[in-house]
Amino acid sequence: MKIILYIIRKEFKQIFRNKGMLPIIFIMPLIQLVILSNAATYEIKNIKLGYIDADHSSTSRGLIKRFEGSAYFNVSSIFSSENEASKAMQEGKIAAYINIPTHFEKDLQKNKANTLGVFIDAIDGSAAGIINVYITQIIQGYNRSIITNLIQNPKSMQSLSNIDSIPLFWYNKTLNYKTFMVPGILVLLVTMITLFLSGMNIVREKEIGTLEQINVTPIKKHQFIIGKLFPFWVLGLGVLSIGLILSKVIFNIPMLGSLTLLYVYTSIYIFLILGIGLFISNFTDTQQQAMFIAWFFAVIFILMSGLFTPIESMPKWAQAITEFNPVKYFVEIIRMVMLKGSGFFDIYPLIIKTLVYALIMNALAVRSYRKTV
pLDDT digits (tens, 9 = 90+) for 206-248: 776 666 665 656 666 666 777 777 788 888 888 888 888 888 8
Structural domain including 72 reads 47-170
Adjacency order of strands within the sheet including 73-79: 73-79, 47-53, 96-100, 115-121, 164-170
Judge whether 114 lies within some domain.
yes
Question: Using CA atoms in the order 120, 125, 130, 134, what is the torsion angle rounded to 10 degrees?
Answer: 10
Rounded to whole angstroms, how far apart are CA atoms 292 and 297? 9
The Cα 75–Cα 50 span in angstroms is 6
- Sequence-distant (≥ 6) Cβ neighbours of residue 319 within 8 angstroms: 311, 312
Burial (0-12, 13-18, 19+ Cβ within 10 Å), 317? exposed
DSSP 46: -
Q: Is residue 41 part of a domain?
A: no
- Give the closest residue to 268 by CA, choosing from 206, 336, 200, 358: 358
Same domain, 156 and 219: no
What pLDDT digit, counting tens, does each position of 302-355 carry?
A: 888 887 777 877 888 888 888 889 999 998 899 888 888 888 888 889 999 999
Please indicate, yes or no, if residue 86 is contained in any of the structural domains.
yes
Confidence tier at 356 by pLDDT (50, 70, 90): very high
Q: Is residue 280 part of a domain?
A: yes
Q: Do 211 and 151 share a structural domain?
A: no
Alpha helices in the chain (DSSP H): 2-17, 21-22, 28-39, 58-68, 82-90, 104-109, 125-149, 154-159, 177-208, 210-215, 221-249, 259-282, 287-303, 316-322, 326-335, 344-368
Domains in the chain, number: 2
Report the amino acid identity of residue 13: K
Q: What is the pLDDT of residues 168-187, one digit of tens each?
A: 777 777 666 677 778 888 88
Residues 267 and 322 in one domain: yes
* Mean pLDDT, residues 63-80: 90
One domain for residues 329 and 203: yes
Q: 216 and 140 in one domain? A: no
- Given a cut of 90, is residue 140 above it in pLDDT? no
Task: Answer yes or no: do 340 and 275 share one domain.
Answer: yes
- Regarding whether 360 and 236 lie in a shared domain, the answer is yes
Angle at alpha carbon of residue 292, lines to 286 and 298, rounded to 5°: 135
How high is the pLDDT of residue 355? 94
- Is 1 within a domain? no
Q: What is the pLDDT of residue 318?
A: 85
Last residue of some domain: 170, 200, 225? Answer: 170
Using alpha carbons only, how large is the chain's radius of gyration in Å?
Answer: 27
**Does residue 200 share a domain with residue 98?**
no
Last residue of one domain, picked from the residues 116, 137, 170: 170
Q: Is residue 296 part of a domain?
A: yes
Which among 124, 153, 170 is the end of a domain?
Answer: 170
Q: Is residue 266 part of a domain?
A: yes
pTM of the model: 0.68
Give the Cα separation of 115 and 102 in Å (integer). 11
On whether residue 23 sits in a domain, the answer given is no
Any idea which of 28-42, 174-188, 290-304, 348-362 has the lowest mean pLDDT? 28-42
Q: Is the pLDDT of residue 37 over 60?
A: no
Q: What is the pLDDT of residue 162?
A: 61
For residues 230 and 152, the model is more confident at 230
| Same domain? 63 vs 119 | yes
223 and 355 housed in the same domain: yes
Residue 157, pLDDT score = 47
CATH code of the domain covering residue 146: 3.40.1710.10
For residues 183 and 327, state if they share a domain.
yes
> Does one domain contain both 161 and 202?
no
Q: What length does the chain have?
A: 373
